[in-house]
Amino acid sequence: GPAEGVRLEAVVAGSLLDGFEWEAGRQAPRGLVHVDPCTGDRTPRSSYRFLRDTLRERG
């Protein structure tokens, strides 16, 4: 991929879980893990899996 050979020095994630955003309420999910507001069930997003796999391979 395009990042092969690039040294990974740091990772910053804005939020692990979806939550309430002051400007958008619950309409702008930003977490690595989707949280169903009715049940509390948590489902990892593709971004979570990408980060997990990248850290395993290169972390």
Which residue matches tokens 């391979």? 57
More reliable by pLDDT, 40 or 8:
40
Residues 37-52 have pLDDT tens digits of: 899 899 999 989 988 9
CA angle at 16 for the pair 55 and 10, rounded to the nearest 5°: 35
Residue 47 has a pLDDT of: 87
Integer Cα distance of 30 and 27 in angstroms = 10
Residues 37, 43, 44, 46: is their CA dihedral positive or negative? Answer: negative
Cβ-based burial of 45 (10 A; exposed 0-12, middle 13-18, buried ≥19): middle
Instruction: Say what the pTM is.
Output: 0.64
Residues 24-33 have pLDDT tens digits of: 666 666 788 8
